[in-house]
Structure formats: structure tokens, C-alpha cells
Structure 1
Amino acid sequence: MNRASKAETALDSIRRDICIHASDGETVLHETELSRRFGMSRTPIRQILQRLAYERLVQTRSGVGTVVTPLLEQDRLRDLRSYKGIIDAILRHDLPALSVSQHADILALEGFARSMQPDDPELQYELLTRLHAGLAQLVEDPVLADAFSASFWRAVRWYMRDLAADPGRATERLKGQIADITGYADRRAADLFARVRDNTRG
């Protein structure tokens, strides 16, 4: 495994842990422990933490270090409105039609969603990861794509919190959202993004 793919794997793993397992308490991420866990030097670990800080999943606290950003209810509306605003910006651009393969990947999400159980946050997170992968590759502007990804993971973290609080309700809501999203007009990226935006609460 090369350095880039190793770093990406570590980033994905830490992000997953934060979204699924991090409580609203103060969770400290120690560079030394992360370096040991992923078999990497502290420099790429530091770069990963910088990326997570850009996504507002972690923050630096004086005298403490890097901590998981607490989810404060007063920030929910701001985060979700920002996410929807970025999708609005994406919709102002000419979007490519989905390829047959991309279209098939999006349609497959509905079957994936039907298999979800309320007590399986890992599977739900995997579904959202696949949705992100399908959407991100359609945004050709690299700056906008980066902003979309950062805001997407904040929205995912809010969803995972809702899932922990009320698994049944959150799961049924996500199933309904995925069913609507995958009903987008054949291969039209603009309709796909519009449905993602309209299915985002906030």
C-alpha cells in the first residue's frame, strides 16, 4: 500500500470513528497513538487531523490538543443550512450527465437502504459513504467539491447522532430519503443533487 492510500485509509477510519462512536464529551485524539495505530509518522497524521479540522469534526484546544468537536444543538441548523447552500452553489454549475455505471451505483443505494437495520450504524455509515462517493465525483470544480465533502461529513455526523438517539425513527427516515433520492430523473445530476438538498432537514 502506498503512502497516499495508507493516509486515505487512516483518514476514513478516524472519520468513521468520530461519526459513529464519538460522544458529545471531550474525546482527545493523540498524534502518537494514531501514528502507532496506523503505522505512520506523525507528519501525515497531523495532515489528517488538519483535514478533519477543515471538516469541523475536530478542533485544537489550548493545553489539551486535538479533540473531537462537540455537537452543540445550536449549531445543527447552521451546519445543515451550509450543506444545502453548497448544494445550491453546485446546482448553479453545468453538471455532467451520470454515466451508466454511475447511475447504476446510485440506483443500487435503494436496495442497500432496504437492508439497513436500526441497530447497525456501521452499515448506515457505509451507505452514506457510498452516496458521498457517487455525488462527489460529479462536482467538477475542485474547490466546490472540497467544500461539498466537508459539509457532507458534518451532516452525516448529525444524522449519526440522531440514529443513536432514536434508531428506529432515524433509520426509517433515511430509507425514505434514499428512496426519493434514487428516484431522480434518469442520469440527470442536477435532479439528483436537488433531491439530496430537499431531503436534508434544516
Structure 2
Amino acid sequence: MTRAPKAETALDAIRKTICVSSFDGEHVLHETDLANEFGMSRTPIRQILQRLAYERLVLTRSGVGTVVTPLVEEHRSRDLCSYRGLIEAILLHDLPALSVSQHSDVLALESFANALQPDDPELQYELLTRLHAIVVQLVDDPVLADAFSASFWRALRWHMRDLASDPQRATDALRARMARLVAYEDRQASDLFARLVDPAAD
């Protein structure tokens, strides 16, 4: 689905709020409030919420409306298993070599990660968003790219949950993951994707 830049900005902002905030209980997202906040009609807001539902960041409750999907610990392994499975599916395809610019962007992630502070979840979200932008464009199959993208946001949200419960440990783990990632074979997308999987999560 192609979205106008304004809708894309709203989608990014709502997704960030969901991932960065530690919502306790049932947090309702009201279409009218979101439409007013972003200066949009309810139709594009409804489309944004449908996208977030596909990413399993929100869900619809009968009699309540659209709510932020609660993070239930027993769902963690399912979400991360799906993420790993989609990476394995991507690795079955012929992947392009990274351009010099893309390779430079990957290498920059380590310096970004080394500057992270445990008490700055927004900066950690920004780092992972940059990683997402790099890797999704390497998947030629649009269906697979879309499914991987949705799974990526769920995995990211689990990181943010870990960051909220143990900031230093989660930050150190993210720095280690970025150091492992940037050691990928020069400009080889297949090696880059193989390193996206956190071995500590196995």
C-alpha cells in the first residue's frame, strides 16, 4: 500500500510511540484523537492502524476499539522464531551486493551503537530504525520484504521491553549485536542477513 508522505510520517510517529513507551494495561488508540493530532482525516488514520495491526503492534477489541497489543512473555519466543524464520527464507533468495553507500551506512551503525546510553530509548529506537531501512531494501521479493518488515518491528519492540526492564544489559547486548553485524563479509547481503539473528536468543 502506497501512503502519502504525511501518512508515512504519522505511521512512523505512532509506531515509535508504541515501541518506545511501556504501556501497562489496555492502551486505546482513538482514531479521532490521532486524526486531530496529525491533521488528517480518519480514513488514512484507519489505514495506518490496519498496517500496525498487520505488524501486530495493535489489535481490535470488540466494544473497545484499537488497542496497543500487550507484550505477553509467552509470545516472545513465537515472535522471535518468526523473525528468524523470515531471515532464513530471505537467505534462500539471491541477494544483491550492498552499494558503497549502503555498506557505509552499515559500518556507521557501530559508532552509533557505541554512543548509546541506557536511559535513552528513543536513540536506540532510531538506531534500529536505521538498520531496518538498510536491510528491507535488500529484499527484492515485495511480499517477503513486507513480512520481514512487520516481524522486525515486533522483534524491536521486545528489545525495547528488555531495555525498560534492564537498561544496561539490553544496551550492552545491542552494542554487541551491532559489532557482530558490521563484521559481515564486505558488501555481502547474505552474510549481513545471517548476522541479524542474535545467537544469544537461540
Q: Under TM normalisation by the shorter chain, which class is it?
A: over 0.9
- 1:147 paired with 2:151, answer no
- 1:131 paired with 2:156, answer no
Q: What pairs up with 1:1-202 in 2 under 5 angstroms?
A: 4-199=4-199, 201-202=201-202
Instruction: Give CA-to-partner distance per residue, 1:43-74, whole Å, 9 cap, x none.
Output: 00000000000000000000000000000001
Cα offset, 1:198, TM superposition:
4.1
Instruction: Give CA-to-partner distance per residue, 1:73-123, whole Å, 9 cap, x none.
Output: 010000000000000000000000000000000000000000000000000
Cα offset, 1:22, TM superposition:
3.9
Cα offset, 1:199, TM superposition:
4.3
- Identity among equivalent positions (%) equals 72
Cα offset, 1:156, TM superposition:
0.4
Normalised to the residue count of structure 1, the TM-score between the two structures is 0.97
Q: Which amino acid aligns with 2:50?
A: Q
Contact 1:84 1:200 in 2 (8 A): no
How far apart, CA to CA, are the structure 1 residues paired with 2:180 and 2:154?
21
State the superposition RMSD in angstroms. 1.0
Q: Which amino acid aligns with 1:20?
A: V
Contact 1:80 1:200 in 2 (8 A): no
Cα offset, 1:24, TM superposition:
3.6
How far apart, CA to CA, are the structure 1 residues paired with 2:199 and 2:117?
20
Cα offset, 1:200, TM superposition:
6.7
How far apart, CA to CA, are the structure 1 residues paired with 2:94 and 2:200?
22
Contact 2:103 2:187 in 1 (8 A): yes
How far apart, CA to CA, are the structure 2 residues paired with 1:190 and 1:148?
15
Cα offset, 1:25, TM superposition:
1.4
Cα offset, 1:138, TM superposition:
0.2
Q: Which amino acid aligns with 1:155?
A: A
How far apart, CA to CA, are the structure 2 residues paired with 1:201 and 1:131?
19
Tell me the SS of whatever aligns to 2:186: coil
Question: How many pairs does the alignment contain?
Answer: 200
Contact 1:106 1:182 in 2 (8 A): yes
How far apart, CA to CA, are the structure 2 residues paired with 1:130 and 1:199?
21
Moved over 6 A (4+): none
How far apart, CA to CA, are the structure 2 residues paired with 1:198 and 1:176?
10
Q: Which amino acid aligns with 1:130?
A: R
**Structure 2, unpaired ranges of 5+:** none
Q: Rate the CA distance shift 1:178–1:199 in 2: closer, same or farther, 3 A.
A: farther
How far apart, CA to CA, are the structure 2 residues paired with 1:83 and 1:61?
25
Q: Rate the CA distance shift 1:50–1:157 in 2: closer, same or farther, 3 A.
A: same
Contact 1:24 1:71 in 2 (8 A): no
Contact 2:98 2:187 in 1 (8 A): yes
